[in-house]
Amino acid sequence: MSGLAAIENADRKEEQGSVAQLVEQRPFKALVPGSSPGRPKINMAWVYILRGASQRHYFGATDRLNQRVNEHERGSNHTTRRLGGELRLVASREVASMEEARALEKRLKRMKNPAKAIQFRSRTFPS
Distance CA 23, CA 77 (A): 50
What's this model's pTM, rounded to 2 decimal places? 0.61
**3-class SS letters over 34-55:** CCCCCCCCCCCEEEEEEECCCC
pLDDT at 102 over 90: yes
Q: So what CATH class is 45-121?
A: alpha beta
Q: Would you say the C-alpha torsion 33, 64, 118, 106 has a positive or negative sign?
A: negative
Distance CA 72, CA 14 (A): 60
pLDDT in tens, 41-54: 567 899 999 998 88
pLDDT at 1 over 50: yes
pLDDT at 39 over 60: no
Predicted local confidence at residue 126, as pLDDT: 39
In the chain, pLDDT over 90 holds for what percent of residues? 27
Residue 56 sits at the vertex; the CA angle it makes with 52 and 60, to the nearest 5 degrees, is 80
